[in-house]
Each structure stands twice: as C-alpha cells, then as structure tokens.
Amino acid sequence: MCPKPQARLAAAARGFSLVTAIFLIVVLMALGAFIINIMGLASSAANLDVLGARAYQAARAGIEWGAYQALRGAGCSGTTTLGFPPGSSLAGFAAEVSCTSTPVNELGTAYSVEQILVTACNAAACPGAPTPNYVERALTITVVRP
C-alpha cells in the first residue's frame, strides 16, 4: 500500500520549516550587527563634533588673547602656546598663537599691521600627532593699529 499523498507532503514540509527558521535567524543577526555598527559610527561622529566645537572655542580664545596683546600697545611677535586650566571646558586643548608685525607708512601716517594666526588642537602642542580623536582648528585675524 502506498502512503497517502498528504502524509508525504507533511514529511517534506518538516525539513523546509527548519531551513526557513535558520535563514531568518541569520538575517536577524546580520541586521542586528549592522545596527550596532551604525550606532557606533553615530556615537563617534557626535564625539568628534563636540571636540571640534571645543577646538574652535580654544582658537577663539587664542585670537582674543592675541588681539588684546596687539591692541594694548605691546605689539606682537613670535609664537606663544596657551594652555587651559584643568577643570575648564577647554582642558586638554592647546592654542598656538603666532603673530607677525609689519610696519606700514601710508601718506606719512605710520601703521602697524599685525597678522595673528591661532591653531588650536586637543594635544600638548599643535600641530599634534594624528590620533583617532585628534581635532584641530585654525583662525586668522588682522589687526591694524596706529
């Protein structure tokens, strides 16, 4: 006697459901790994964005310090490295302030044109060694004083 056709179909379907279950598990694991990878990249990008904003603020502080030195009459020349105190929001950053002064005589009036370049980074000295979390910002200002 031959087995009933329904019994043969049920026996063949048992193996198919196992293959389907394994396939679904593998697809869900791959999707989970992809989501974890994307979340790590987003977190890293947000961290670098915060470090970049802090480096910009350190460069702004260096610009203000250099402009103050130039405008108070002391003039500026050479390079000075500014550090920020521990506990401040800019701790761990350094700002290198470079200043060059050029005398200008225009129609008998003497001026001093001072070019201030500030490079700020999250290393002991700028430019620092490139590391995965290294950020650097540079700003320039020109100050003219009589």
Q: In sequence order, what are the residues at sequence separation of 6 or more whose Cβ sits closer than 8 angstroms to the Cβ of residue 97?
A: 62, 65, 66, 79, 80, 81, 82, 116, 117, 118
Cα–Cα distance for residue pair 118/97, rounded to 1 Å? 5
Residue 59 is predicted with a pLDDT of 94
Residue 7 is predicted with a pLDDT of 59
Domain count, the chain: 1
Handedness of CA 127, 61, 141, 49 (dihedral sign): positive
Instruction: List average pLDDT for each run of 10 residues in the chain, which is 146 residues long.
Output: 59 69 90 86 83 92 90 76 88 90 87 91 74 88 86
Tokens of 43: 């977190």
Residue 4 is predicted with a pLDDT of 62
- 97 close to 118: Cβ distance less than 8 angstroms: yes
Q: Which residue has the tokens 């460069």?
A: 59
pTM of the shown model: 0.70
| Residue numbers of the domain that contains 101 | 5-145
